[in-house]
Amino acid sequence: MSSSTQTPKSTYHLYTFYASSCAARLRIAFNLKNIDYVPHYVDMNTDDHESEAYRAINPSAAIPTLRIETEGEDPFTIAQSVAILEFLEETFPSRTPLLPPPSDTKARARVRELMYIVTSDIFPPTNSRIAQSVKAVRGEREDALTFVRTIMNRGFATYETYLSTYFPNGKYSADDAITLADVCLIPQVEQARFYKIDFAQFPLLSGVIERLEKVEAFRKAGWRMQGDTPEKDRLES
């Protein structure tokens, strides 16, 4: 085959932080789709994401960022996790599809509903920056904890209702295939455990979580198995 007909090689650079649930979404997706990527660790504990160098890559100073370098092309950068997930799905639709077929628009909408319960209803208001702002009102840590737990419990209760209504016998969130909903769910579950959310109150969701956490792509993407995970917290692969 001549070089003129070969597909240009792309290298995927993922700016990530071990404790970022948004970055974990992408690590899971890369694992499921078997796409190699180069991790670049940004230490949010020391405010590396606020540096001038990182802001030049991502003006919002958020994690994650994906930078794609393709031979013969200008680099392409995406800075929102959901946008990156959909980009990967559209770029690699046949590698472990994470949405139902384009012809099944209703099923795709259902997956996105579940995904957005996590990425719109649960995650943004429980982000640590928001929690710190709530704490700052009266200087009471318990205010932030109560606020975050209330939002999370409401969100996961809604998720449980969707499961019981549409997929009561499903293996995963949207029936028997892993989807973007699952990719977003598990990192949020890991975050919720820090706030001691009791998932026993959500039996269908608990079953989905248990099955997903046995999948190698999810396990390897966990916060305790990253290159920048502190030694005291790290699990061996």
Nearest to 107, CA basis, from 60, 201, 32, 175: 175
Q: How confident is the model over 41-47, as a mean pLDDT?
A: 94
**CB-count burial class (<10 Å; 0-12, 13-18, 19+) for 180:** buried
Across the chain, what does the average pLDDT equal?
92
Could you report the per-residue pLDDT of 184-200, keeping only the tens digit for each? 999 999 999 999 999 99
Here the tokens at position 132 are 């710190």
Could you report the per-residue pLDDT of 218-229, keeping only the tens digit for each? 999 999 999 999
Could you report the per-residue pLDDT of 136-186, keeping only the tens digit for each? 555 556 777 888 999 999 999 999 999 999 999 999 999 999 999 999 999
Is the pLDDT reported for residue 16 higher than 90?
A: yes
Q: Which residues contact 149 (CB under 8 A, 6 or more apart)?
A: 195, 196, 197
Provide the whole-model pTM: 0.92
Q: Greatest CA span in the chain, whole angstroms?
A: 68
